[in-house]
Structure 1
Protein backbone atom coordinates (compact mmCIF):
# COMPACT_ATOMS: atom_id res chain seq x y z
CA UNK A 1 0.00 0.00 0.00
CA UNK A 2 1.35 3.45 -0.90
CA UNK A 3 -0.68 5.40 1.57
CA UNK A 4 0.47 8.74 2.97
CA UNK A 5 0.93 9.35 6.69
CA UNK A 6 1.38 12.81 8.12
CA UNK A 7 1.60 14.41 11.52
CA UNK A 8 0.45 18.02 11.46
CA UNK A 9 1.28 20.27 14.40
CA UNK A 10 -0.59 23.51 14.92
CA UNK A 11 0.33 25.95 17.69
CA UNK A 12 -2.20 28.54 18.79
CA UNK A 13 -1.52 31.92 20.26
CA UNK A 14 -2.60 31.65 23.92
CA UNK A 15 -5.38 34.17 23.39
CA UNK A 16 -6.80 32.25 20.40
CA UNK A 17 -6.45 28.70 21.76
CA UNK A 18 -10.14 28.12 22.48
CA UNK A 19 -11.25 29.54 19.13
CA UNK A 20 -8.66 27.52 17.22
CA UNK A 21 -9.56 24.32 19.07
CA UNK A 22 -13.20 24.76 18.02
CA UNK A 23 -12.21 25.33 14.38
CA UNK A 24 -9.89 22.32 14.37
CA UNK A 25 -12.43 20.08 16.09
CA UNK A 26 -14.98 21.02 13.43
CA UNK A 27 -12.67 19.55 10.75
CA UNK A 28 -12.72 16.00 12.12
CA UNK A 29 -16.19 14.84 11.07
CA UNK A 30 -16.16 16.18 7.49
CA UNK A 31 -12.58 15.05 6.92
CA UNK A 32 -13.27 11.49 8.06
CA UNK A 33 -15.98 11.32 5.38
CA UNK A 34 -13.62 12.34 2.57
CA UNK A 35 -12.61 9.88 -0.13
CA UNK A 36 -9.26 8.36 0.72
CA UNK A 37 -9.25 9.20 4.43
CA UNK A 38 -8.07 6.15 6.37
CA UNK A 39 -7.95 7.95 9.70
CA UNK A 40 -7.85 11.53 10.92
CA UNK A 41 -7.14 11.86 14.63
CA UNK A 42 -7.03 15.15 16.54
CA UNK A 43 -4.95 15.52 19.72
CA UNK A 44 -3.85 18.20 22.15
CA UNK A 45 -0.36 18.12 23.64
CA UNK A 46 -0.42 16.69 27.18
CA UNK A 47 1.78 19.49 28.54
CA UNK A 48 0.94 22.48 26.31
CA UNK A 49 -2.76 23.16 25.63
CA UNK A 50 -1.85 25.52 22.78
CA UNK A 51 -0.31 22.71 20.71
CA UNK A 52 -2.67 20.60 18.59
CA UNK A 53 -1.58 17.55 16.62
CA UNK A 54 -3.27 15.68 13.78
CA UNK A 55 -2.28 12.12 12.94
CA UNK A 56 -3.56 11.32 9.45
CA UNK A 57 -3.42 8.43 7.02
CA UNK A 58 -4.57 8.87 3.43
CA UNK A 59 -4.95 6.30 0.68
CA UNK A 60 -2.79 8.43 -1.66
CA UNK A 61 -1.07 11.78 -2.05
CA UNK A 62 -3.87 12.77 -4.44
CA UNK A 63 -6.44 12.18 -1.68
CA UNK A 64 -4.42 14.31 0.73
CA UNK A 65 -4.07 17.05 -1.89
CA UNK A 66 -7.85 16.97 -2.46
CA UNK A 67 -8.37 17.27 1.30
CA UNK A 68 -6.31 20.46 1.39
CA UNK A 69 -8.68 22.01 -1.17
CA UNK A 70 -11.90 21.12 0.68
CA UNK A 71 -14.36 23.96 1.39
CA UNK A 72 -14.66 23.02 5.07
CA UNK A 73 -11.02 24.08 5.53
CA UNK A 74 -11.66 27.57 4.14
CA UNK A 75 -12.64 29.13 7.48
CA UNK A 76 -9.50 27.79 9.07
CA UNK A 77 -7.08 28.71 6.29
CA UNK A 78 -8.43 32.25 6.05
CA UNK A 79 -7.55 32.87 9.71
CA UNK A 80 -4.23 31.12 10.29
CA UNK A 81 -2.17 34.30 10.49
CA UNK A 82 -4.40 35.62 13.26
CA UNK A 83 -4.74 32.34 15.18
CA UNK A 84 -1.33 30.66 15.01
CA UNK A 85 1.80 31.38 17.01
CA UNK A 86 3.97 29.67 14.37
CA UNK A 87 3.52 28.14 10.92
CA UNK A 88 1.85 24.75 10.63
CA UNK A 89 4.41 21.96 10.77
CA UNK A 90 3.67 18.91 8.61
CA UNK A 91 5.84 15.79 8.88
CA UNK A 92 5.52 13.07 6.25
CA UNK A 93 6.17 9.56 7.53
CA UNK A 94 6.98 6.22 5.92
CA UNK A 95 5.71 3.13 7.72
CA UNK A 96 8.32 0.48 8.44
CA UNK A 97 6.14 -1.98 10.35
CA UNK A 98 3.57 -4.24 8.79
CA UNK A 99 -0.04 -3.11 8.61
CA UNK A 100 -2.24 -5.28 10.78
Structure 2
Protein backbone atom coordinates (compact mmCIF):
# COMPACT_ATOMS: atom_id res chain seq x y z
CA UNK A 1 0.00 0.00 0.00
CA UNK A 2 1.51 3.30 -1.08
CA UNK A 3 -1.21 5.59 0.27
CA UNK A 4 -0.16 8.90 1.77
CA UNK A 5 -1.94 9.95 4.96
CA UNK A 6 -1.81 13.44 6.40
CA UNK A 7 -3.46 14.66 9.59
CA UNK A 8 -3.64 18.44 9.87
CA UNK A 9 -4.69 20.12 13.11
CA UNK A 10 -6.21 23.60 13.25
CA UNK A 11 -6.99 25.45 16.48
CA UNK A 12 -9.70 28.10 16.23
CA UNK A 13 -10.01 31.15 18.37
CA UNK A 14 -13.43 30.91 20.11
CA UNK A 15 -14.80 33.94 18.25
CA UNK A 16 -13.59 32.54 14.89
CA UNK A 17 -14.91 28.98 15.23
CA UNK A 18 -17.77 29.22 12.67
CA UNK A 19 -15.55 31.04 10.16
CA UNK A 20 -12.77 28.43 10.39
CA UNK A 21 -15.25 25.57 10.16
CA UNK A 22 -16.76 27.08 7.02
CA UNK A 23 -13.35 27.50 5.37
CA UNK A 24 -12.34 23.95 6.23
CA UNK A 25 -15.64 22.54 4.94
CA UNK A 26 -14.97 24.25 1.61
CA UNK A 27 -11.50 22.66 1.45
CA UNK A 28 -13.08 19.27 2.14
CA UNK A 29 -15.62 19.74 -0.65
CA UNK A 30 -13.01 20.73 -3.22
CA UNK A 31 -10.39 18.20 -2.16
CA UNK A 32 -12.77 15.27 -2.39
CA UNK A 33 -13.16 16.03 -6.10
CA UNK A 34 -9.46 15.41 -6.80
CA UNK A 35 -8.64 12.28 -8.77
CA UNK A 36 -6.06 10.96 -6.29
CA UNK A 37 -8.10 11.65 -3.15
CA UNK A 38 -9.27 8.54 -1.29
CA UNK A 39 -10.52 10.24 1.90
CA UNK A 40 -10.67 13.84 3.08
CA UNK A 41 -12.57 14.22 6.33
CA UNK A 42 -13.09 17.05 8.78
CA UNK A 43 -13.10 15.91 12.42
CA UNK A 44 -13.76 17.81 15.62
CA UNK A 45 -12.04 17.57 18.98
CA UNK A 46 -14.17 15.66 21.47
CA UNK A 47 -12.74 17.35 24.57
CA UNK A 48 -14.48 20.70 24.16
CA UNK A 49 -11.42 22.34 22.62
CA UNK A 50 -11.74 24.47 19.52
CA UNK A 51 -9.64 22.08 17.47
CA UNK A 52 -10.37 20.70 14.02
CA UNK A 53 -8.52 17.90 12.29
CA UNK A 54 -8.45 17.12 8.60
CA UNK A 55 -7.58 13.51 7.86
CA UNK A 56 -6.42 13.15 4.27
CA UNK A 57 -5.56 10.01 2.34
CA UNK A 58 -4.21 10.04 -1.20
CA UNK A 59 -3.37 7.19 -3.56
CA UNK A 60 0.25 8.28 -4.05
CA UNK A 61 2.79 10.84 -2.88
CA UNK A 62 2.43 12.53 -6.27
CA UNK A 63 -1.35 12.85 -5.77
CA UNK A 64 -0.75 14.46 -2.37
CA UNK A 65 1.81 16.87 -3.85
CA UNK A 66 -0.65 17.84 -6.59
CA UNK A 67 -3.26 18.48 -3.89
CA UNK A 68 -0.83 20.56 -1.82
CA UNK A 69 -0.29 22.89 -4.77
CA UNK A 70 -3.91 23.32 -5.88
CA UNK A 71 -4.83 26.98 -6.41
CA UNK A 72 -7.76 26.85 -3.99
CA UNK A 73 -5.53 25.47 -1.23
CA UNK A 74 -2.66 27.87 -1.84
CA UNK A 75 -5.06 30.86 -1.84
CA UNK A 76 -6.75 29.82 1.42
CA UNK A 77 -3.58 28.87 3.29
CA UNK A 78 -2.78 32.42 4.53
CA UNK A 79 -6.31 32.76 5.98
CA UNK A 80 -6.01 29.56 8.04
CA UNK A 81 -4.30 29.37 11.43
CA UNK A 82 -0.88 27.72 11.37
CA UNK A 83 -0.91 23.96 11.81
CA UNK A 84 0.60 22.72 15.07
CA UNK A 85 4.16 21.59 14.69
CA UNK A 86 4.88 23.95 11.78
What TM-score comes out, normalization by structure 2 length?
0.85
For 1:17 and 1:65, how far apart are their aligned partners in 2?
28
Count of aligned residue pairs for this structure pair: 85
| Stretches of 4+ aligned residues off by more than 3 angstroms | none
Structure with higher Rg: it is 1
Number of the residue aligned with 1:53: 53
TM-score by length of 1: 0.74
Q: Distance in 2 between matches of 1:16 and 1:56?
A: 23
Runs (5+) with no aligned partner, structure 1: 91-100
Structure 2 gaps, min length 5: none
